[in-house]
Structure 1
């Protein structure tokens, strides 16, 4: 079964005012059918690409849009799924704290040790992807973050490297991620699978076994 989250991915142009209002109205009309707001956040990679070309990048419209989604998350009492990496994560944490949103899932997160500790202290969740099998920084993140706040994902159809090079992204890769987390955490694969499934069900308020 597919459970939907509604949002607007930040690695694209901000939509016009009329389109944004139509989206917000649509989300409100269908709120009972969604499990979360997302994926929303800030355009780290888009901004980085623009700045490398010497272009001026206006972040403010993205911050305004994100804050609107965060306030919607708070008012609807829905979790929020976030695209916020490196220094952007601190900006997002500021907004989450301002609006007292605690149910936050940082998808495929990367960031500093200070930011990681801040997120752990607030009880924010992160998800680990297949690159945990070959990326040292993701392995360190998985080791540092409490398993009680971990989930897993593929972010398909993202093309992965290492043992997945040339292989089409598939949900079955999650099994490899779980096994690797078990090794990193020095627990059994069953313990890891049970904990990660429980975390996902609790966070998204799903009845999953």
Structure 2
């Protein structure tokens, strides 16, 4: 059996049913101890809640993915109510953040309503004493750091982070976590981030079913890909693989309060 690790950010609800079933059935043999399944909206949150009740290795986060049109007011109200009602069943509020890619494709879209939406989720996380699973990259990341600082939020996980060196230093100092995807095997910028970011503020993820390139081209994204990520992180940091496994596992259990 492989050393155990946790996929800190995956969209299990977005997989084809047969692929999801295979992932969950194979998880123990693949050394995947837990999977943090993040949500993209109300329907997604409901599916993830059901998965977490059926499979003990699935932990879930409830939220609204920012790379989509804003939710109608009634749907947002229902989602916020759902999160409050099921807060004991979740590990975090997420996936929430700002729509970098959406606005890149359509610069006419206003950012302010998305900032207001994110702030509502940040306030909810503070109210519920829950960690945040964040989508905040490039120019959006400093804005999100500002909102977190405004509300004195420390338990922030910037998944698949990309951004400038100044923001990276700010995140380090604030104690925020990042997670590294399998593209650490073939993307120099991600390799640099993995080399420079403190290991005790790092996790690993797949963001599945998002597809990868390099050695994973044309493959269904699977949590077991994380083992290759861990090997590469250990090489980049000049650390023993076994110690990197232990640290990443400890980080994820600590951040997501996994007992």
Specify the SS of the correspondent of 1:74.
Answer: helix
Gaps of 5+ in 1: none
- Find the counterpart in structure 2 of residue 15 from structure 1: 71
Inter-partner Cα distance in structure 1 for 2:205 and 2:169: 22
Residue-pair matches, total = 203
State whether structure 2 residue 257 is matched by structure 1 residue 201. Answer: no
- Find the counterpart in structure 1 of residue 21 from structure 2: none
Gaps of 5+ in 2: 1-56
- Find the counterpart in structure 2 of residue 38 from structure 1: 94
- Find the counterpart in structure 1 of residue 60 from structure 2: 4
- What does residue range 1-209 of structure 1 map to in structure 2 within 5 Å? 1-51=57-107, 56-207=108-259
Q: CA deviation at 1:60?
A: 1.1
Inter-partner Cα distance in structure 2 for 1:31 and 1:157: 25
Aligned-residue CA RMSD in angstroms? 0.5
> Which segments of structure 1 move beyond 3 Å, counting only runs of 4 or more?
none
Specify the SS of the correspondent of 1:172.
Answer: helix
**Deviation readout 1:118-169 (Å, 9 max, x if unpaired):** 0000000000000000000000000110000000000111111111111111
Identify the structure with bigger relative contact order (alpha carbons < 8 Å, sequence gap 6+).
2
Q: CA deviation at 1:77?
A: 0.5
Q: CA deviation at 1:24?
A: 0.4
Inter-partner Cα distance in structure 1 for 2:176 and 2:244: 19
Q: CA deviation at 1:18?
A: 1.1
Inter-partner Cα distance in structure 1 for 2:87 and 2:222: 28
Specify the SS of the correspondent of 1:3.
Answer: strand
- Find the counterpart in structure 1 of residue 46 from structure 2: none
Specify the SS of the correspondent of 1:111.
Answer: coil
- TM-score, L = length of structure 1: 0.96
Inter-partner Cα distance in structure 2 for 1:40 and 1:72: 12
Q: CA deviation at 1:29?
A: 0.5
Q: CA deviation at 1:57?
A: 1.2
